[in-house]
């Protein structure tokens, strides 16, 4: 299984959700890993380090740029260019039975002019997308816009799960109901809508992974 974890934008909880899923998958006995092929900025710990902790093995990003900005801009600033083929080879080399690839930024964040994270998911031949949205004002617009654009331009990409991520679990659950009713049922009717597991809640992580796993099998 190869899932690509995209978001409605940056800082929506992709790393938190991906780490939870990988950690729960490994706890259930699965050979799972979380990968971050592109990383920008100098956060400590980095997204790749958090995924490495969940995976039991740190895989440094293929492309890492210090500037905290869009990947295409950070790469250009560093005198580099992000290419899809090396990323696909890198992911194949590090893949396990269950591989979750976390993108840098949102589904349509540019990796180079004319190429986005959605194009990367196509190039990877992903078995499906896990879309993460933040439990905050604007969630319906942001999630609806992303799903509508994906359905129109990338019909080959199947959104299998939409995960509402937020520190307030009760609020996230209420928003998840609205996301399903107003957005997902219209634009991605086959996707399941879930809520991220509270930090440290291993039982909730296990339940989240079980549901996501079923979506891909």
Alpha carbon distances (Å) from 25 to 17, 97, 147, 213: 12, 11, 26, 9
Residues linked to residue 33 through DSSP beta bridges, in sequence order: 99
Catalytic residue among 23, 26, 36, 187: 36
What CA–CA distance (Å, rounded) separates 156 from 121?
10
Alpha carbon distances (Å) from 45 to 23, 52, 105, 196: 17, 10, 17, 20
What CA–CA distance (Å, rounded) separates 149 from 209?
26
Q: Are residues 13 and 39 in contact, defined by beta-carbon separation less than 8 angstroms?
A: no
Q: Cα 18–22–27 angle (5° rounding)?
A: 150
Helix axes 202-215, 14-27, angle to 10 degrees: 90
36 catalytic per annotation: yes
Q: Are residues 12 and 132 in contact, defined by beta-carbon separation less than 8 angstroms?
A: yes
Catalytic residues: 36
């Amino acid at each position: 299984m190869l899932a690509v974890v995209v978001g409605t934008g940056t800082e929506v909880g992709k790393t938190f959700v991906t780490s939870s899923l990988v950690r729960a998958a490994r706890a259930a006995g699965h050979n799972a890993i979380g990968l971050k092929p592109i990383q920008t900025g100098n956060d400590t710990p980095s997204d790749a380090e958090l995924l490495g902790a969940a995976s039991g093995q740190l895989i440094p990003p293929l492309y890492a740029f210090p500037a905290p900005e869009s990947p295409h801009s950070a790469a250009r600033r560093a005198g580099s260019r992000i290419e899809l083929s090396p990323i696909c080879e890198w992911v194949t080399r590090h893949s396990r039975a269950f591989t979750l690839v976390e993108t840098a930024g949102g589904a349509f964040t540019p990796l180079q002019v004319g190429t986005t994270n959605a194009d990367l998911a196509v190039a990877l031949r992903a078995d499906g997308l896990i879309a993460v949205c933040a439990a905050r004002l604007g969630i319906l617009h942001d999630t609806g816009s992303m799903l509508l654009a994906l359905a129109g331009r990338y019909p080959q990409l199947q959104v299998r799960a939409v995960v509402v991520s937020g520190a307030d679990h009760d609020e996230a659950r209420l928003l998840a109901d609205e996301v399903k009713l107003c957005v997902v049922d219209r634009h991605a009717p086959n996707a399941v809508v879930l809520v991220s597991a509270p930090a440290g809640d291993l039982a909730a992580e296990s339940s989240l992974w079980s549901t996501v796993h079923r979506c891909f099998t």
